[in-house]
Chains A and B, each alone.
Chain A
Amino acid sequence: MSDKQDEKLDALLRARRVEPTSRDLAQRIILKAQSLPQNQTLPLMQWLRQLFAEFHLPKPAYVVVSALVLGIIVGFSTPDRTASKDEDSTSVQSFLDADEVPL
């Protein structure tokens, strides 16, 4: 492919014609916008970011708070296994004994 062809193609590409726009296109857009309300709903992430920005917390604070929340969630969701087997059997026995009390 010759350089001359390249140059001619480039020249053709740069000389592509565009019909001129209406003179009042910008005005039409501006006028139309004046009759339209703005939708100020923020995307969730942006809303959260703005909310956090209000508190001006440093980054380590987020880590601490996240660790605490995670700890609480894990703590509540883990079954209590601290009671010993003996205690379990005692409480079962006392429950059964209570049943045998004469009415």
Chain B
Amino acid sequence: MATGWPEKDDQELLALIQEGSHQAFAELVQRHTERFYRLAYRYVQNRETAEDLVQDAFLRLWENPASWRPDRNSKFTTWFYRIVVNLCLDWQKKKRPMPLDEDMPLADERESADEAMIRIQEQRLLEKEIAALPERQRTALNLCFDQGLSNQEAAETMGVNLKALQSLIMRAKTTLRERMKAYL
């Protein structure tokens, strides 16, 4: 659905959403659904659940548009990343982590069978080890490596300073290097 408001920035759309504009909401959802889905997927490793969580986050925004405070929240995406991460963490606390689907085609289909097997093992192990990291280290990795946020943006999203974020990433990578020695 073309909403026709690509020229409006997120803050302008949010102001319109606060006035009840469905069109502004549609534009915002179309603009950002994919990136927040990717983030949610990192936590839950399941498409349906990740989609449900992203839907839940957007619908909460629609139902409570006053939760967005332009004077307090510098950037919509920074603020909304935090909402999605919190929903994912809440979900994880309530449910047991889902094991990776054994049939899930993790490898690139163009690889040879051996390469594909190794790649699959690497990816499974990586996901398993990332899932075992402390919550904040995991979030730092997800924001910096998967969402492509700068360290500064990721630090703002997590509500920590830059040095703390760098330290979280360093500790996470040290742990992963240690646990994935055989594959590196």
Per DSSP, are chain B's interface residues mostly helix, strand or loop, or mixed? helix
Residues of A whose CB lies within 8 Å of any CB of B are 1, 4-6, 8-10, 12-22, 25-30, 32-34, 36-43, 46
Question: B123 contacts which chain A residues (CB < 8 A)?
Answer: 12, 15-17
| Cβ-defined contact, A8 with B184, below 8 A | yes
Interface residue ranges, B against A (CB under 8 Å) = 1, 20, 22, 25-26, 29-30, 33-34, 37-38, 41-42, 47, 50-51, 54-55, 58-59, 62-66, 69, 104, 106, 122-123, 126-127, 141, 145-146, 173-174, 176-177, 180, 183-184
A13 touches B126 (CB 8 A): yes
Which residues of chain B are near A21, meaning CB under 8 Å?
33-34, 37, 47, 50-51
Residues of B within 8 A of A42 (CB): 66
Residue of A nearest to B41 (CB): A18
User: Does A9 lie within 8 Å of B180, measured CB to CB?
Assistant: yes
- Asked if residues A33 and B58 are in contact (CB atoms below 8 Å), the reply is yes
Partner of A5, one of B33, B50, B106, B184: B184
A25-B54, A27-B1 are known contacts. Are A12 and B122 too (CB-CB below 8 A)?
yes
